[in-house]
């Protein structure tokens, strides 16, 4: 019996190249996914800080309203709150007086806005809160 050898070379090399390509693609995807998760987490933290900076401005405005309801609090120029990053807080107040029969009241509409970063950049975060307060005159 005579044995003939067939030359089978190259199949394992092609399979190894395919496997390495698939593994490299999966590795690149996992790195990209990890970076996206970290960026998302950091932006979530910044938006929470912006919310609380806006709430601090609102707390100032509510505390500055006079009990007789005659004067809308004069907000300071935009001020900075540092909560790990600097937030610029802008507080606005509008006052509306209403008289119905013998009842007179003043409604204050307050808005506080906190921002950080430049508009259009990935680091830009903005949050605002608003409230209405009714004060009898």
pLDDT tens per residue, range 82-94 = 766 789 999 999 9
Question: What DSSP element (H or E) covers 15?
Answer: helix 11-64
Q: What is the pLDDT of residue 123?
A: 83
pLDDT of 11-48, one tens digit each? 788 888 889 999 999 988 888 888 778 888 888 888 88
Q: Is 94 helix (H, G, I), strand (E, B) or coil?
A: strand
H-run or E-run covering 81? strand 79-82
Whole-number pLDDT of residue 8: 63
Q: Taking the mean position of all CA atoms in its chain, how far away is CA 42? A: 9
pLDDT band, residue 128 (cuts 50/70/90):
very high
Confidence (pLDDT) at 1: 63
Higher pLDDT, 136 or 52: 52
Q: Give whole-number Cα distances, 34 to 5, 29, 38, 46, in Å.
A: 50, 9, 6, 19
Highest average pLDDT, of 85-89, 109-113, 121-125, 131-135, comes from 109-113
Confidence tier at 10 by pLDDT (50, 70, 90)? low
- Confidence band, pLDDT 50/70/90 cuts, at residue 129: very high
pLDDT of residue 127: 94
* CA gap 107, 64 in Å, rounded: 14
The stretch 49-59 carries a mean pLDDT of 91
């Amino acid at each position: 019996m005579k044995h003939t050898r067939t030359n089978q070379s190259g199949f394992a090399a092609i399979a190894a190249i395919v496997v390495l390509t698939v593994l490299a693609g999966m590795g690149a995807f996992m790195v990209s996914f990890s970076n996206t998760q970290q960026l998302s987490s950091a932006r979530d933290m910044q938006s929470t800080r912006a919310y609380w900076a806006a709430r601090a401005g609102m707390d100032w405005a509510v505390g500055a309203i006079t009990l007789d309801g005659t004067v809308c609090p004069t907000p300071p120029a935009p001020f900075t709150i540092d909560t790990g990053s600097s937030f610029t807080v802008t507080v606005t107040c509008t006052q509306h007086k209403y008289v119905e029969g013998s009842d007179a009241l003043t409604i204050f509409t307050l808005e506080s806005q906190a921002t950080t970063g430049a508009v259009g950049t990935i680091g830009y975060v903005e949050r605002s809160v608003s409230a209405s307060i009714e004060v009898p005159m």
